[in-house]
Structure 1
């Protein structure tokens, strides 16, 4: 299988999940500005939506959207317990977190990456993000991971999105549980491998 990614983008979460699950994947870097892959393929022919991640399956078909890709990869290796079993309330709780991170947290960051975003909108989005992180702080204060004691694909996604804070000037240092969470995830060997592979970590 091949993962189309851009360093540090939301595709990092799928990359982390693949490594946590022990799944060997080929990495194909995508240049967002040119919409071309490292192999000089027009990325829009692979994903007309123009977004990473995209997972190319062994049969040549493509799977898009990070939450779907992460669950697919984790289900291939259930022994790693990266997702609860299908049909259980715990699985729906996982999907609840994935939905929140994807539709609320993730999208709130998007305008902050655009230098042309007017300051009033930028300030509003920062306020919204602080509200969301206060909720996450309450969740993570009594437990290590979003689902409790077990690291899951939702934690990989939250870690990836929260890494964007420093790039957009969002100060989260006042949130000790979030700070500790980011450090815990960053210290996992497979996460370090993913960060190194994407050129996001220096050793």
Structure 2
């Protein structure tokens, strides 16, 4: 398999998942502005939507959308236990968290990367993100180490990748001690360190 990624983008999430499973894979970096890969290929030929992540399977088929990719990776190696069994309520809870991160947090952060955003629009965007980070804090406030309890899941990798954007967008995590502790816990995880190092983030 080959993961197309951009350093620090949401593609960090499936990158972590691949390390968690130990499945063999290669990486190809994508310049999301020019939509070309590090080998000079046209990335839109891989993913016509032009954004990462994209996972090229050994069959040649390409899977896109991070939430779908991480579940596919997890199901390739169920013994890694990074996603509950398909068809269970626990799996639906995982999908609930993945959808929340994708639709509320991920998309909430997106405007903050726009340098042309007005001060008022930036302030509003930060307030929306803060409300959603508060939701995450509440989820972690019942003593759980991870979103689904005491076991890491692919939702945690996605949350880490997105919440890591806070420091690049001027969103301080100071109000959320449980989330800060989660980020530290994730940063210390060997598979996260592997992915971060491979992307040149540490």
Shorter-normalised TM-score: what interval?
over 0.9
Q: What are structure 2's unaligned runs of at least 5 residues?
A: none
1:184 paired with 2:188, answer no
Partner of 2:27, secondary structure, is: strand
Matches within 5 A, 1:3-18: 3-18=3-18
Cα deviations by residue, 1:14-54 (Å, 9 ceiling, x for unpaired): 00000011112100000112110011000111111011000
**Alignment TM-score, normalising by the size of structure 2:** 0.98
User: Which residue in the other structure is 2:74 paired with?
Assistant: 74
Number of corresponding residues: 201
User: Which residue in the other structure is 1:53 paired with?
Assistant: 53
1:193 paired with 2:184, answer no
Partner of 2:28, secondary structure, is: strand
User: Which residue in the other structure is 2:134 paired with?
Assistant: 134
Partner of 2:172, secondary structure, is: coil
User: Could you say what the CA RMSD is over the residues aligned between the two structures, in angstroms?
Assistant: 0.6
Task: Tell me by how many angstroms 1:68 deviates.
Answer: 0.5
Partner of 2:47, secondary structure, is: coil
Distance in 2, Cα, partners of 1:158 & 1:150: 14
User: Which residue in the other structure is 1:169 paired with?
Assistant: 170
User: Which residue in the other structure is 1:42 paired with?
Assistant: 42
Distance in 1, Cα, partners of 2:135 & 2:33: 34
Matches within 5 A, 1:109-148: 109-141=109-141, 142-148=143-149
Q: What are structure 1's unaligned runs of at least 5 residues?
A: none
Runs of 4+ in 1 over 3 A off after TM superposition: none
Distance in 2, Cα, partners of 1:4 & 1:60: 13
**Alignment TM-score, normalising by the size of structure 1:** 0.98
User: Which residue in the other structure is 1:23 paired with?
Assistant: 23
